[in-house]
Amino acid sequence: MLHQNYSYKIDPITNPIQGEVTISGAKNSVLPIICASLLNSHSTELSNVPHLNDVSILLELLKSIDITTQHSIEKEHVAINGFVGDTKSVEIMSENTRKIRYSLLLMGALLGKGIKNIKINLPGGCTFSERPYEMHIDGFEQMGCEITQYPEYIKITVPTKLKATTIRLRFPSVGATENLILASCGVANGKTIIQNIAIEPEIIDLINYLKKLNINIDFIDQRTVKIDSSYKKSLVVAHKIIPDRIETISWVILGALSSQKGIVIKNIEIEHLLAPLLELQKIGVFVTISQNSIYAKQTNLQTFSSLISEVYPMLGTDYLPLFAVLLSTTTGESTIKDTIYPNRFEYLDELSKMGLIYNQKEGISTIKGTTLYTSSHVKATDLRGGFATLLASILSKKETTIDNAYQIERGYANLIEKMQNIGITIRKVDII
């Protein structure tokens, strides 16, 4: 498990930034699928698994309920023994649940397995929003669950059995979509319909895994699914995790900002990247796209842009901190509006310590261009905001220190090694 009390020191860039980067498996795909493996009484074999702290924490949570796992970091492989689930009650009160928000999906997976009494600590993760769980809870209640919420944990009881119903999400939440799909797998008779769902590639990857258990999941329209678990089976399942689309764009932007000779980003899924690539094209970023790779090089950006985050397939909220650094190097002023997490702008305060000039009004941040970043001592406010400070540190060309660096490694596997391969030296310094 990765040490959480350390900083990054980014050395001055003395050599050209160039080379290749191979994209790891998607964090937001592997974690829900690890939770979904609870539905399987036989083994699940996952490949292209990223080496991330959140993966290690979630596997530890599975071990706490006597599920045996094997994790080969070198082979990017995880084997999860089947969960028999012959008990009526499961408690997961480990402190590890507070470290990752995806621990919340264990509720849906346990309900899908047929567990009738669940007690679990509230989850954690990035802290830029309160991440309300009402949609998850409302959906569970519509399926017949009795929910009691305490300050530190949630208790779920199924008095008889889960019932088939139609649930409409008030917002296409990724987490609620995943949790309710997993819980629907525990409906013994009938079909569950979930409307206004999120349709991110990671959700499609989860659905593809569930289909390997012979769970019938069909799209009625673009944002409506029907789940019929009558024919589900326990099978030995092998599944390859999709590439991480947010990591892909992170390296593309790094290349556009700092690599005169260019970097090649390999192991990508181009269909998952259409919205951010379109925005990069509007700004003037130079990229060459092939079937499974992108070549990106430093570009003199002469334009500004106005970005708005929306639900997939539009530009997602996780891209905005990365784009903020890119936009700060253009001419003129650019604006960013986050409609998903309106308060997710704490990272701009850290960038301002390095020279960024911005102002914020009514949920819209205005970023001044032609920023010349200088070295500083900053912190990673969250996962993507942390990578944004890392981008600015590379541009400063002097030693910069980033505290809370564990936040960055929550979503970027083998980051220091990948940086080293293209000419960027990052030292990890433990804080005593």
User: Domain check: are 235 and 253 in the same one?
Assistant: no
Q: Which residues contact 246 (CB under 8 A, 6 or more apart)?
A: 26, 28, 316, 318, 319, 384, 411
Local structure of 421: helix, strand or coil: helix
Domain span at residue 164 reads 27-240
Domain-embedded: residue 1: no
| Confidence at residue 132, expressed as pLDDT on a 0 to 100 scale | 64
| Confidence at residue 3, expressed as pLDDT on a 0 to 100 scale | 45
Q: Which of 196, 222, 240 is the last residue of a domain?
A: 240
User: Domain check: are 203 and 347 in the same one?
Assistant: no
User: Domain check: are 289 and 213 in the same one?
Assistant: no
Q: How many helices (H) and strands (E) does the chain have?
A: 13, 24
User: Domain check: are 32 and 72 in the same one?
Assistant: yes
Q: What is the DSSP letter of 25?
A: B
Q: CA quadruple 123, 127, 131, 132: dihedral positive or negative? A: positive
Task: Give the residue ranges of the chain where pLDDT is below 70.
Answer: 1-4, 124-132, 432
Q: Single out the residue of 11, 13, 425, 20 nearest to residue 258, CA to CA.
A: 13
Query: Are 183 and 108 in contact, with CB atoms under 8 Å apart?
Result: yes
Cis peptide before 172 (omega within 30 of 0): no
CA distance 223 to 426: 42
Q: Which residues are catalytic?
A: 126
Read off the tokens for 153: 């944990």
The CATH number given to whatever domain includes residue 317 is 3.65.10.10
Domain-embedded: residue 44: yes
Give me the number of domains the chain comprises: 2
Q: CA quadruple 66, 70, 73, 77: dihedral positive or negative? A: negative
Q: Which residues contact 116 (CB under 8 A, 6 or more apart)?
A: 88, 89, 157, 158
